[in-house]
Structures are given as structure tokens and as C-alpha cells.
Chains A and B, each alone.
Chain A
Amino acid sequence: MSGFIPAMRTADLMPGMVKVVDVQGRRIAVCNVDGRYFAVDDVCTHDGGPLGKGRLCDGQIECPRHGARFDVETGRAVVLPAVMPIRTYALRVIGTEVRVCLERRAGDV
């Protein structure tokens, strides 16, 4: 499976938590929503805030800087002041390894 780079181990991230990993120079925030993993850019589209330092709630990640929220599956901005979606990344869990593909978005075939 080309392009899917190991980012972390599943055990590194508990449900409801977020962790930032560096994948080939890009900062990716990996989220665990009730056992399902999602990967998004660590940077909030509103003002560049650190999403990875925010909290996860109901499948949404909240930026600590101004409270903007994004759906981690689609990347859509759901709470102002963010309006632009964040980039999502295709993610596969292979065994105990979480792998992220930088070229493809979540939901791409």
C-alpha cells in the first residue's frame, strides 16, 4: 500500500485523545474518536492555532486559541471563527500501526 507512512502505534492514543506526529515534515494531529482514528492538519485555518493542543469532543476537534471546531472526519469547520475546512489525510490502521497518507484525503478511494 504505497504512500501510507507509519505515524504511531494504536496504543499511543487513547479514545478521546489527540496526538501530534511529524510525518515527513508535516505536523499531523491524529484523533481517536471512540476507537476510530482520523488524521488532520495540526494548523487551524482561522489563525494558525495548534489543533493538536485542543480537545476532542463528539467527533470534533476544538482549537484552543479561539474555540473553533472542525469535524475530524470531513475537515469541515463547524464552529466559528473558523470557516475554511482543515485538510484531512487518509488513514489506515494495520495491526497496531496507524498509517497516514499525505497525498490522499480521508474518504478518497
Chain B
Amino acid sequence: MTDRKATEMMPDSYKWGFHDEARYVFRTERGLSRKVVEEIAGIKEEPQWMRDMRLRALEIFERKSMPNWGPDLSAVNLNDLYYYARASDRPERDWNEVPDYIRSTFDRLGIPEAERKFLAGVGAQYDSETVYHNIREELAKQGVIFADTDTAVREYPDLVRRYFGTVVPPADNKFSALNSAVWSGGSFIYVPEGVHVDIPLQAYFRINAENIGQFERTLIIAEPGSFIHYIEGCTAPIYTTNSLHAAVVEVIVKKGARVRYSTVQNWSTNVYNLVTKRSVAYEDAVVEWVDGNLGSKVTMKYPAVYLMEPGAHSEVLSLSFAGRGQHQDTGAKAVHVAPHTTSVITSKSISKDGGRASYRGLVKAYSGAKGIRSSVRCDALLLDGDSRSDTYPTMEIDERDVTVSHEASVSKVSEEQLFYLQSRGIDEQEATKMIVNGFVEPIVKELPMEYAVELNRLIELQLEGAIG
């Protein structure tokens, strides 16, 4: 089967045979109900307050309406999904059933055999447990907590309860309500005062036997003067039948602390990826979001920072690639509540083969936010005549003493640049790759090297059209 054919067959997930009940140790009944939510809380042996919160969130979810803006979500049938599934080991899948375009991507990216099988859901054994275990020991010495959120609720209830839902409450939007009702998995990180964690912590390390991140709930607390870099996702395409992902990430950065949160998302192209990511930054705190969106059918994600006290600073680097049938609706928000805060947003997007990349953002300055500075720069590259790019930025400035700017541009690959490269003997496809690489370089270079290398290779693959 050629790659192209595989791609065309992709949308129908039933072809890959994931509808067998028997392969799951436990799965809640189809659809969402009180019963399902209570079962989830029960399985996790959660304290009463978490169970109550889930049930309240379910009520809120039921009464909230779908967003009346943004990508088309009409194909999402909320009643038809399984909201929780658990296997003692990963469901057994046949390597031959994995779509060609995923297998060949692994090849091209040079992903080791064991890893690729793990990521594709084939076979249960990947030695992430060992890696995870070693890292945890190191961290424990510093007093750093790095656990999955389910464990944190049980082992550090007071800490979790103090912050959970304070940055993104259930009622914030329909999908934060959904997540609050059925969340499972995700990371809980607590960094004590003054502690600098030198190695980036990766979600990868704590992938457990649960479902693969459908409704993750992540909570990061950085005490004053601390530093942490957290990375989630990976460039290798994650294949999953779970077609709705609604994650919530809350990050609290206290005085003088710094948190960098990097994401590279490459979900298979049947996934609706709707994420609420938000942080609060206190005095002199620094928050950095590095957000790479390559996969999924639809992504709606706008990492946000609320700059609550003077000296707080935020930076968002957003990179989106929209290929055939994809709609990346991404962006960032910077809310200046306190004076003398600063924000920088840089967004780069590429659209190809009819893909659609939209930037959606907000810069808000409340009255009293004197002396704030904000700078937004969005650039979009359209690679062919079928593709589409939009920008929907909003600036709401209620304070006079500010310096706020926003610049955006949409363009095709510069003919001059192409001509220049071609005149040096480089063929058009190679030249395009080089230009695109140069275009995304400012963001890619902010990722740890292994990611950067893989990301560049992945983008090259996308450009070649060798994958979907």
C-alpha cells in the first residue's frame, strides 16, 4: 500500500481494528453521564472533594454550549465517545495494522524500534519506567515532586487542592468543564523555593498504563525563585483512536520563578485537540510557552499568561503546520493586570495542500497596568493555492501609559529567495525546504536539540508530502 493511499484511508479508524471490547481491562460505557464520572473517581480512589468537583463539572459541561467561533467541530459526536479506558498493559495491536504513513515517519525520523512500537501502541514494553524511576530519585533529593496527577491527588491532596482549578476553573469553557469531569493522567510538578531543575522534565517519562493522554490534567507550581523546563509530546506521530483530546494545563509561577513549557504536538489526523493552557505569573516571574502544532485534524489552543504583579514577563513561541485536511487554530494570550509587565508573542505558521492555519490572540491591558510593553509578531507562509491563513488578533487597551504593538504578515515563499537559491544549483523543492527551515528557525531553536533536529526533519517530510 502506498503512503498516499494510506493517507486517504486514514480518517476511518475502524479499519485499524480498535473496536474490540475484550482488549481493555476496563472501559466505562459509551458516552458521558454521572455514572461514568463516578466510576472514574471510584477507580482512582479519589477523595470526596475531587469526586464532587468532577460531578459539578459534568453539570457545567452539559449546560455550556459549543464555541460559536473557530474551526468546525460539528463532526465531534460527544455521545459516541468512550471517556475512560484502562488496560493493565497497552492494548495489543498488530504492527501491520499501523498506518503506513506513521511507520514510514518513524523510519525517516530514525526512531528506535522499541520506542516506535510503544508509540504506535504496539506491544506493551517500553522501558520508560526505568528512566522515570531514576529521574524521580534525583528530583526527590531536591524536594521536587514530579508525578502523574492521579498519584498527586492521592499523595499530596492539600497541595493539589489549593491550586487545582484556580487558574482554569471548570466553567471557563465547555472543554475545560469536560476535562474537569473526566480528566485522567497528566503531570503534577512542584518545585520548592529556590530550586533549579537542570534537566527538562518530560511527560514521556511518566507515560503509564493508562489511556494515552486523552484528557490530561497538568498542574505545575513553581515556588519563588525556582526554575523548571517541562516538555510534553514528541515529534513522532502519536496514533490513537481517541478522536477527542481535551487537556487542561495550569501553571503557577511565583515571585522570581521561571517556567518554560514546551509542547510538540503531532497527533494523528483524526484527532480534535482542544486544549486550555493558562498560567499566572507573579512578581518578576517569567513564563515561556513554546508550542509546536503539527498533527491533529483540528487544534484549538491559545497558551495564555496572566501577568499579575509588576516585573512579570511572558513569552510565547507558537509554530503551526497545517497540511491537508488540517485546521490549526492557535495563538496566545497576554493579559496585563499589573503595571510594568511585559509580553512577547511570536507566531509562525505554514499552510500546505489546503490546510488552514489561523492565529487567534489577545493582548489585554487593564486600567492601571501602567508602563506595560507588549509585542506580537505573526507570520504565515502559504505554500500553495489551496491553503489558507487567517489572523484574528484582539488588542483591548484600557490604560494610557503602554507600548503595545502587533504586526502580522501572510505571504508565499519569496520568489526572490527561491530564484537566488535555484541560481546556485539548488532545485525548487530543496530550496523551499531551506526557506521554510529559515522561517521556523527562531522557534525551533528554542527547543532542546533532540527535539529541534526531529522537528526539522518532520517539517521536511511534511513539505515533501511523503506523509499525509
- Chain A residues within CB distance 8 Å of chain B: 62-69, 78-81, 83-84
User: Within 8 Å CB of B308, what residues of A?
Assistant: 83
Interface check B386, CB cutoff 8 A: no
Interface centre among A69, A78, A79, A80 (most CB of B within 10 A): A80
Q: Which 4 pairs of residues, A with B, have the shortest CB-CB distance?
A: A67-B169, A67-B171, A83-B337, A79-B166
Whether B335 pairs with A69 at a CB distance below 8 angstroms is no
Interface members, chain B 113-172 (any A CB < 8 Å): 165-172
A81 to B166, CA, bound (A): 9
Q: How far is the CB of A45 from chain B (nearest CB, A)?
A: 9
Tell which of A66, A79, A84 touches B165, judged by Cβ atoms closer than 8 Å: A79
Cα A83 to Cα B173 in complex, Å, equals: 17
Give A68 to B167 CA distance when docked, in angstroms.
9
> A80, B171: Cβ atoms under 8 Å?
no
Chain A nearest CB, measured from B168 CB (Å): 7
- Is B166 within 8 A of A83, CB to CB? no
Given the complex, which residues of B lie within 8 Å of A80, measured CB to CB?
166-169, 172, 278, 280, 306
In the assembled complex, which residues on chain B have CB atoms less than 8 Å from the CB atom of A79? 165-167, 169
In the complex, number of A-B residue pairs with CB atoms less than 8 Å apart: 39
Q: How far is the CB of A64 from chain B (nearest CB, A)?
A: 7
Chain B interface extent, by class: 10 to 19
CA distance A69 to B170 in the complex (A): 12
Q: A65 vs B64: C-alpha distance in the bound complex, in angstroms? A: 9
- In the complex the two chains form, what is the Cα distance from A91 to B278 in whole Å? 36
Q: Is B366 an interface residue (CB 8 A)?
A: yes
Residues on the B chain within 8 Å of A68, using CB: 169
Q: What 0/1 readout, one digit per residue, does chain B (284-316) give for beta carbons within 8 Å of chain A? A: 000000000000000000000010100000000
On chain A, the residues within 8 Å of B306 by CB distance are: 80-81, 83
Are the C-beta atoms of A66 and B172 separated by less than 8 Å? yes
Residues A67 and B170 in contact, CB atoms below 8 Å apart = yes
- Cβ proximity bits B313-338 to A, threshold 8 Å, 1 near / 0 not: 00000000000000000000001010
- The residues of A that contact B168 with a CB separation of less than 8 Å are 80
Q: Are A65 and B171 in contact (CB under 8 A)?
A: yes
Interface residues of B, Cβ cutoff 8 Å to A:
60, 165-173, 278, 280, 306, 308, 335, 337, 366
Q: Are B172 and A81 neighbours in the complex by a CB distance under 8 Å?
A: yes
Task: Provide the bound-state CA to CA distance between A65 and B278, in Å.
Answer: 18
A-B contacts, 24 of them at CB < 8 A, read: A62-B171, A64-B171, A65-B171, A66-B169, A66-B171, A67-B165, A67-B169, A67-B170, A67-B171, A67-B172, A68-B169, A78-B166, A79-B165, A79-B169, A80-B166, A80-B168, A80-B172, A80-B278, A80-B280, A81-B306, A83-B308, A83-B337, A83-B366, A84-B337
Residues in chain B near residue A69, CB distance under 8 A:
169
**Distance in angstroms between the alpha carbons of A83 and B334 in the assembled complex:** 13
Which residue of B has the minimal Cβ distance to A45? Answer: B366
Q: A66 vs B165: C-alpha distance in the bound complex, in angstroms?
A: 12
A66 to B64, CA, bound (A): 10
- A78 / chain B contacts, CB cutoff of 8 Å: 166
Report the nearest B residue to A77, measured CB to CB: B337
Which of the listed residues A62, A63, A66 has the most CB atoms from chain B within 10 Å of its own CB? A66
* Minimal Cβ-Cβ distance residue in B for A83: B337
Complex Cα distance, B366 from A79, in Å, reads: 17
With contacts A81-B172, A83-B308 known, what are 9 further pairs, Cβ within 8 A? Answer: A67-B60, A67-B172, A79-B166, A80-B172, A80-B280, A81-B306, A83-B306, A83-B335, A83-B337
Q: Quick one: closest A residue to B364, CB to CB?
A: A83
State how many angstroms separate the Cβ of A88 from the closest Cβ of chain B.
18
Q: How far is the CA of A79 from the CA of B166 in the complex (A)?
A: 5
**Inter-chain contacts of A81 with B (CB < 8 A):** 172, 306
What distance in Å separates the Cβ of B178 from its nearest Cβ neighbour in chain A?
A: 13
Min C-beta distance of B219 to chain A, whole Å? 14
Chain A residues whose C-beta falls within 8 Å of the C-beta of B171 in the assembled complex: 62-67
The closest CB in chain A to the CB of B180 belongs to: A67
Which chain A positions have C-beta within 8 A of B335?
Answer: 83
- A99 vs B166: C-alpha distance in the bound complex, in angstroms? 32
Give complex CA distance A68, B170 in Å. Answer: 10
Task: Please give the distance in Å from A32's CB to the nearest CB on chain B.
Answer: 20
Which residues of A sit under 8 angstroms from B166, Cβ to Cβ? Answer: 78-80
Cα–Cα, bound, A100→B167 (Å): 32
The complex places the Cα of A94 from the Cα of B62 at a distance, in Å, of 42
Residues of B within 8 A of A62 (CB): 169, 171
Question: Considering the chains assembled together, what is the distance between the CA atoms of A83 and B306 in angstroms?
Answer: 9
**When chains A and B are docked, how far (Å) is the Cα of A69 from the Cα of B60?**
15
Residues of A within 8 A of B337 (CB): 83-84
Shortest Cβ gap from A28 to chain B (Å): 23
Is the CB–CB distance between A84 and B169 below 8 Å? no
Cα-based distance from A15 to B262 in the complex (angstroms): 46
Assembled-state Cα–Cα distance A68/B171 (Å) = 8
> Considering only CB atoms, which chain A residue lies closest to B168 in the complex?
A80
A49 to B, closest residue via Cβ: B171
State how many angstroms separate the Cβ of A74 from the closest Cβ of chain B. 16
Residues on B with C-beta less than 8 A from A84 are 337, 366
